[in-house]
């Protein structure tokens, strides 16, 4: 099939793509166990812990996704001078990622999300995090680093988890550079910060985020089209990609093109980090000059892979190739 040929060639070009990631860095901690009884102290399950592990989360997971797909990336973000920050830096170094973009702020704590999982289901999550805005000193350091790096990359991903790093000033600096140089700017949004994103290339809200940004429920195809069209116009973007879980994703382009892409996920075990995978695959595809629809198809395949895994997962270039070929065979 001609489409498959294009997609496979696109994946081969990923190694030439350079993506700058800026956003909220999070440490993802997983506590795995099994439940065989209810606590006599309260009506809650007793989890017998069998293992624990820590992984890169938030913007750091976007970095990991880009590398897994074969691309090149640098992460810019802020962590605290604490135990979890040290653990995060150790993971970055161990996995071979540059820490040149990591700024340590003595006044913040490193954000960590701890998930307890038993019998393939998340029992509870508890967060320790910084959500306050950056200090003036740290903000200036981030902007200086950002401006020194932008010209080295084909695309920028703004990974906004609402932990205080992404603000109007940072996005404005990126958009100004985009207007002068034509760089791709992709945003994985947080609803409270939508007002900052005007003029970026593409925003990738999930359906709930799109509903909150529009102010109405997306409960029909008509409402979906209304939402995508509204967001395009309101935020003056080239594209809006609304991810819709089991319903796949819907792409809206400023030239009037609307494309609905059905999900390919066979089984969904865990959606943790799926948004990171979508924006990583999309941005890396666009960085190597993919057409919008091909970039979204690639993203859809990548998302289908990671939701079939437990924990904060990534999709490799090999897995992506196999998914495209496998689903092509099914269609014959």
Q: Alpha-carbon torsion 160, 165, 169, 174, what sign?
A: negative
Q: How far is it, in rounded angstroms, from Cα 206 to Cα 188?
A: 9
The answer to whether 305 and 319 have CB atoms below 8 angstroms apart is yes
Q: How far is it, in rounded angstroms, from Cα 119 to Cα 127?
A: 22
Q: Is there a catalytic annotation at residue 276?
A: yes
Q: How far is it, in rounded angstroms, from Cα 43 to Cα 108?
A: 36
The answer to whether 324 and 7 have CB atoms below 8 angstroms apart is yes
DSSP 5-32: HHHHHHHHHGGG-EEEEEE-EEEEEEEE
CA distance readout (Å), 13 to 152, 154, 276, 286 = 17, 13, 20, 11
For residue 27 the two structure tokens come to 């440490």
CA distance readout (Å), 189 to 105, 205, 212 = 24, 6, 11
For residue 160 the two structure tokens come to 């906004």
Q: Of the residues 28, 160, 238, 276, which is catalytic? A: 276
Q: How far is it, in rounded angstroms, from Cα 270 to Cα 132?
A: 29
DSSP 145-164: HHHHHGGG-SEEEEE--SSS
Q: Active-site residue numbers?
A: 276
């Amino acid at each position: 099939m001609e489409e498959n040929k294009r997609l496979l060639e696109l994946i081969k070009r990923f190694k030439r793509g350079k993506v700058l990631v800026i956003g909220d860095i999070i440490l993802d901690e997983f506590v795995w166990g099994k439940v065989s009884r209810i606590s006599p102290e309260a009506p809650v399950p007793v989890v017998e812990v069998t293992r624990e592990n820590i992984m890169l989360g938030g913007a750091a997971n976007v970095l990991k996704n880009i590398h897994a797909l074969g691309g090149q990336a640098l992460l810019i973000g802020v962590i605290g001078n604490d135990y979890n920050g040290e653990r995060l830096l150790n993971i970055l170094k161990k996995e071979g990622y540059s820490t040149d973009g990591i700024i340590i702020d003595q006044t913040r704590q490193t954000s960590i999300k701890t998930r307890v999982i038993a019998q393939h289901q998340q029992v509870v999550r508890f967060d320790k995090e910084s959500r306050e805005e950056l200090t003036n000193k740290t903000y200036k350091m981030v902007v200086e680093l950002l401006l020194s790096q932008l010209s080295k990359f084909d695309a920028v991903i703004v990974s906004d988890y609402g932990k205080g790093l992404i603000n109007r000033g940072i996005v404005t600096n990126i958009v100004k550079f985009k207007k002068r140089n034509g760089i791709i700017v992709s945003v994985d949004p947080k609803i409270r910060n939508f007002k900052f994103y005007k003029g970026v290339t593409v925003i990738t809200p999930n359906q709930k985020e799109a509903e909150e940004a529009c102010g109405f429920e997306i409960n029909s195809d008509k409402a979906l089209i209304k939402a995508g069209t509204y967001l395009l116009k309101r935020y003056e973007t080239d594209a809006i990609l609304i991810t819709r879980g089991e319903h796949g994703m819907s792409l809206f382009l400023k030239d009037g093109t609307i494309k609905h892409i059905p999900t390919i996920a066979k089984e969904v075990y865990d959606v943790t980090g799926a948004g990171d995978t979508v924006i990583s695959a999309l941005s890396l595809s666009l960085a190597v000059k993919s057409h919008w629809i091909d970039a979204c198809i690639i993203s859809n395949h990548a998302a289908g892979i990671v939701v079939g895994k437990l924990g904060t997962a990534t999709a490799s270039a090999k897995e992506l190739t196999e998914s495209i070929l496998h689903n092509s065979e099914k269609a014959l």
